[in-house]
């Protein structure tokens, strides 16, 4: 199958879900990432890219139970966006 828009599709696909650990997989580790920013725009995407990178570094098949939270002042100061998930491996 040809990839869309000429993108190179040689990276293995990761399982990425906000839901529970899929059947046939088990939780291997906890993944945590954070992004400090003046604006929430794009911060979640940076956190997701970091989680994907951590999966590949640790030879995981993906992540499940993804959650986001943020902390910081509401007056325009910097905020921190946190992402955390279960790193999963196939059984």
Between the alpha carbon of residue 60 and those of residues 20, 43, 65, 68, 78, the distances in Å are 16, 23, 15, 20, 32
> Of all residues in the chain, what percent carry a pLDDT higher than 70?
82
List, in sequence order, every beta strand (DSSP E) within the chain.
15-16, 25-37, 62-72, 79-90
What is the per-residue pLDDT for 10?
Answer: 62
Give the model confidence (pLDDT) of 52-62 as tens digits: 999 999 999 99
pLDDT at 51 over 50: yes
Q: Hey, what are 2's tokens?
A: 């040809």
How much of the chain, in percent, has pLDDT values that exceed 90? Answer: 59
């Amino acid at each position: 199958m040809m990839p869309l828009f000429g993108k190179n599709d040689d990276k293995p696909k990761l399982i990425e879900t906000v839901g529970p650990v899929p059947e046939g997989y088990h939780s291997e580790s906890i993944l945590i990432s954070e992004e400090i920013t003046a604006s929430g725009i794009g911060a979640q995407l940076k956190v997701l890219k970091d989680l994907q990178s951590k999966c590949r570094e640790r030879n995981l098949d993906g992540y499940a139970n993804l959650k986001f939270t943020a902390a910081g002042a509401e007056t325009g100061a910097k905020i921190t966006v946190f992402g955390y998930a279960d790193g999963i491996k196939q059984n």
